[in-house]
Structure 1
Amino acid sequence: MNPDDLHALLTTPMPYGKYKGRMLSELPGHYLVWFAREGFPGGKLGTQLALMYELDHNALRHLLDPLRDPAR
C-alpha cells in the first residue's frame, strides 16, 4: 500500500450500483462486506474495493484523513 493507493480511494467514484458516483472512501461498511463475501470485481476497481474493505474492517479509515482536501 502506498499513499497513491490511498489517495485514489478519495478520488475514485464508484462506477455502478446503488452507490454509483460515491467516492470509494465513502462507501458504507456493509456494502464492502457484501463485496468481500460475494467477490470483488476484477481489475483495478476490485483491488481498490478490497483495500477499502481492509481499511474499514480493521478500523483504519482514519488513515485517509490526512489525505483529504482541507476545504472539504
Structure 2
Amino acid sequence: MKKQEYDHEALLRLAAMKMPFGRYAGYRLVDLPEPYVVWFAQQGFPAGKLGQALAAVYEIKVNGLEYLFAPLK
C-alpha cells in the first residue's frame, strides 16, 4: 500500500487564511464557529479558493479534527 503524501504548505496556508467578509471577517477560517461553516455547506460554498478552503474547514470540523491546527496557531 502506497503511503499518502500531504501538502504541509497547504495546511499552513489554510491555518492562516482569514474570512474576508461577513460577521466573522478577520477570523481565521479554522476558528469560525462550526454552525457558521455548516450553514455555508448547506447554502453552497463560494467559488474559488475561499470556497475550497471553507469546504476543507467544514470536513475538518465535522470530523472533529480541529486539534490538528492547535500547533499551527
Q: TM-score, normalised by structure 2?
A: 0.84
Contact 1:10 1:23 (C-alpha < 8 Å) held by counterparts: yes
Q: Unaligned regions of 5+ residues in structure 2, if any? A: 1-5
Q: Unaligned regions of 5+ residues in structure 1, if any? A: none
2:55 counterpart of 1:50: yes
Which contiguous aligned blocks of 4+ residues in structure 1 show a shift greater than 4 angstroms? none
1:29 counterpart letter in structure 2: E
How many residue pairs match? The answer is: 68
The 5 A counterparts of 1:1-72 are: 2-68=7-73
Output the CA distance in 2 between the equivalents of 1:21 and 1:3: 23
Q: Give me the CA root mean square deviation.
A: 1.2
The structure with the largest alpha-carbon Rg is 2
Shift of the alpha carbon at 1:13?
A: 1.2
Q: TM-score, normalised by structure 1?
A: 0.85
Identity of aligned residues (%): 46
